[in-house]
Amino acid sequence: MAAFFVINRTSLVTGLEGSFWRVGHGREIELGRRSLIMAIINVTPDSFSDGGRFETVDAAVEHALQAVSDGAAIVDIGGESTRPGAASVSPSEEQARVLPVIEALRGRTEALISIDTYRAETARLAVGAGAHIVNDVFGLQKDAGIADLAAATGAGLCIMHTGRDRVKLADVIADQAHFLERSLAIAAAAGVNSDRIVLDPGFGFAKETAEENLELMARFSELSRFGLPLLAGTSRKRFLGAVTGREAPERDAATAASSALLRLQGAAVFRVHNVAINRDALAIADAMLNARQEFERKRPT
């Protein structure tokens, strides 16, 4: 991994000391002292747990504003389902879905706006419409133009690991390193500053079994090797259903439990469907981490 990206972020292991994620339009947001929630806003007819509920502009905007009221610091707008087997949509259709929502939200909330896309042209138009962050589920490796766009505009980047369309390494953390180091090299070559980047290990994205996802959860703290903030996106994923026996719309309690556990292992941002239940679970995790820090501060050496 390039030394350019190896920075001192000890705070991301404890989740307590503050650092800043610098994003588009001159904005920044503090990471580490408290959990940050990114609300999932699917402007699609076929997303795996809420497809069709928010596919109109008005419904998507109201849903996003409610998520902010419930405690989301970021709203992530997506116009194409990324569930396994979902049909691809054309760039023009994706843009027709998301751009009016971003334009409407820009004037109605101070929350950060993220565009969930792997297409550089959609990302460019979304940032122009007011988005602060580009969330790329192919980690810059499907369209490297997203890295150029981020460098040119200062947009924040969520770089996600995926096992789709390639042969993975057997060890889950070795495969994370193999994929994400390439993504970070693409970002560095484009001139993206490291303080613009958050990494997402991509729970459920070609992690073929519940056991693989659970091992990734169990070893999540090993991802601190990258020295970059980490995003956890377990919301309503199939592996939670395998553990609990519940269908996707009934997995919010399991999601909240996984969010709290991953917070204790260093996750800073949590991408979720149900903001309120995750907010409460993460408030407990944050309080425990703060109590531990206070105990360690007072403990005689």
Q: How far apart (Å, rounded) are the C-alpha atoms in residues 206 and 229?
A: 22
Catalytic-residue membership of 207? no
**Is 274:39 a contact under the CB 8 Å cutoff?**
no
245: region left, alpha or beta (phi > 0 left; psi from -120 to 50 alpha): left
296: which residues sit within 8 A by CB, 6+ positions away? none
Beta bridge partners of 29: 21
Q: Which of 124, 168, 236, 271 is catalytic?
A: 271
Catalytic-residue membership of 271? yes
Q: How far apart (Å, rounded) are the C-alpha atoms in residues 123 and 104?
A: 17
Determine the Cα angle at 130 with ends 129 and 132, to 5°. 135
Q: Which of 124, 237, 251, 263 is catalytic?
A: 237
**Which tokens hold the place of 74?**
């970021």
Q: How many helices (H) and strands (E) does the chain have?
A: 10, 10
**Is 158:147 a contact under the CB 8 Å cutoff?**
no
Q: What is the DSSP letter of 230?
A: B
CA 68 to chain centre: 16
Which residues participate in catalysis according to the annotation? 237, 271
